[in-house]
Structure 1
Amino acid sequence: MNSVNITPEKNGIRYGLFTAAGMIVYFLLASMLHLTERVEFSFLNGVVLAIGICMAIAHFKRVRNDKMPYLQGFGTGIITSIVASVIFGLFFVIYTVINPSIMDQLRARDLFGFDLSVTIAFLAILLQSVMSGVIISLVAMQYFKSPDHKPIEGIE
C-alpha cells in the first residue's frame, strides 16, 4: 500500500482481520489445551489485541513517512479493535454452536450466573475488546505520534 491509497479505515480493517485471526488461533489453541475452562487465560486476547493495534499504527505511520496526524493514528487503532472484536465475537458464537459445552463451562464458573447466554457472551466480548482497544490506542499513540506533533495551546 502506498501512502496515497492508505486510509485509517483501510489500514484498520486490514490489521483488524490479522488481529482477529490471531485471537481465533489463540482461542483454538487454548481450547485444545483445555485452558478455556479457566477464564483467567482470556486476558491474553488483550495482549494479542494490543500487538495488532500497535502493528496497525506503526504500519500507518511508516507508510506515511513518519508524518501521521494524531487522530488518524488513533482512529486506525480503534477501527482495528472494532473489526477484530466483531469477527472474534462472531467466531465465538459459531464455536458455541459447534461446541456447546463451552457455555456450560462458563456458566459453571458462576461469573455471570446461569443467565449467561450466547448473546450476552457476544456482547461482553465486544464491549471488553472495543473498550480495551480504545485505551490501548490512546496509550500507543503517545509513543507513535509524529515528532512534530504540537498540543493545542489555547482555545479562544
Structure 2
Amino acid sequence: MKRSSVPLIYGIYIAIALIGYFLLLSLLDLHQNPAYSVFNMVITGGGIFLAIKKYRDKKLGKFKYQKGFMAGLTAGFVATVIFTAFFAVYTSELNPSFSEELITMWETDWFVNIGMLVFTVALMGFATSLVVTLAIMQLYKPSWNTSEGKKHTY
C-alpha cells in the first residue's frame, strides 16, 4: 500500500464502521436518538488515529506535522462523504419516514427537509474530523522539552 493511499483506505474503513454502527442502531430501533451519535466521534477518532499512525510508519525519514494532519483530515473527510451519501440514500429511499421520526423528537416550528438533515450530518462529520485530527496530532507534535529547547526559556 502506497503512503498516499493510506488516508483513502482508512477513510473507507471508518465509513464502513460508521455505517455498520448506524445499521446496528437501526436494528435495535435506537437510531432516532441523536445521543447515540456521540459514539461516531469515537469511531472516527480511532480510525483517524490508526490512519495517522500507519502514515507515519510508512514515512521514511522525518515525519512532518502538516503531512500527518492532512492524512488524518483526508481520512475523516473521505469517511464523512461516504457516510453522508449512505445517510442520504437511507433517509430518502430505504426509510423515508426516518427523517420525520428524527425531527419530531424536538418540538419546533421549523420546516426541516431532507437536504437540511443531510447537510447537518455532513457538517457534523467534517467538524468532528477536523477537531479529532487536531487533537490526535498533538501526540505526534515534536516536543520542545529537549536540552536545546530549555536553553530558550526563562
TM band (smaller chain)? 0.7 to 0.9
Matches within 5 A, 1:6-155: 6-7=3-4, 10-65=5-60, 67-96=62-91, 97-110=93-106, 114-145=110-141
**Inter-partner Cα distance in structure 2 for 1:54 and 1:112:** 38
- Per the normalisation by structure 1, the TM-score is 0.84
**CA RMSD in angstroms, aligned pairs only:** 2.2
* Structure 2 unmatched runs, 5+: 150-154
* Contact 1:68–1:145 (8 Å) recurs in 2: no
Q: What is the deviation of 1:146?
A: 5.3
Deviates more, 1:73-82 or 1:59-68: 59-68
| Preserved CA contact (<8 Å) 1:61 1:144 | no
CA separation of 1:113 and 1:69: change in aligned 2, threshold 3 A? farther
- Rg larger for: 2
Which residue identity is paired with 2:57? R
Q: Does the 8 Å contact 1:57/1:77 carry over to 2?
A: yes
Unaligned 5+ residue runs, structure 1?
Answer: 152-156
Q: Using the alignment, how far apart are the partners of 1:17 and 1:123 within structure 2?
A: 20
CA distance in 1, matches of 2:115, 2:99: 11
Structure 1 residue 37: Cα displacement: 2.2
2:29 partner amino acid: H
Once the 2 structures are TM-superposed, how far is the Cα of residue 105 of structure 1 from its aligned partner? 1.1
Give the TM-score taking structure 2 as reference length: 0.85
User: What's the % identity of the aligned pairs?
Assistant: 29
Q: Does the 8 Å contact 1:85/1:130 carry over to 2?
A: yes
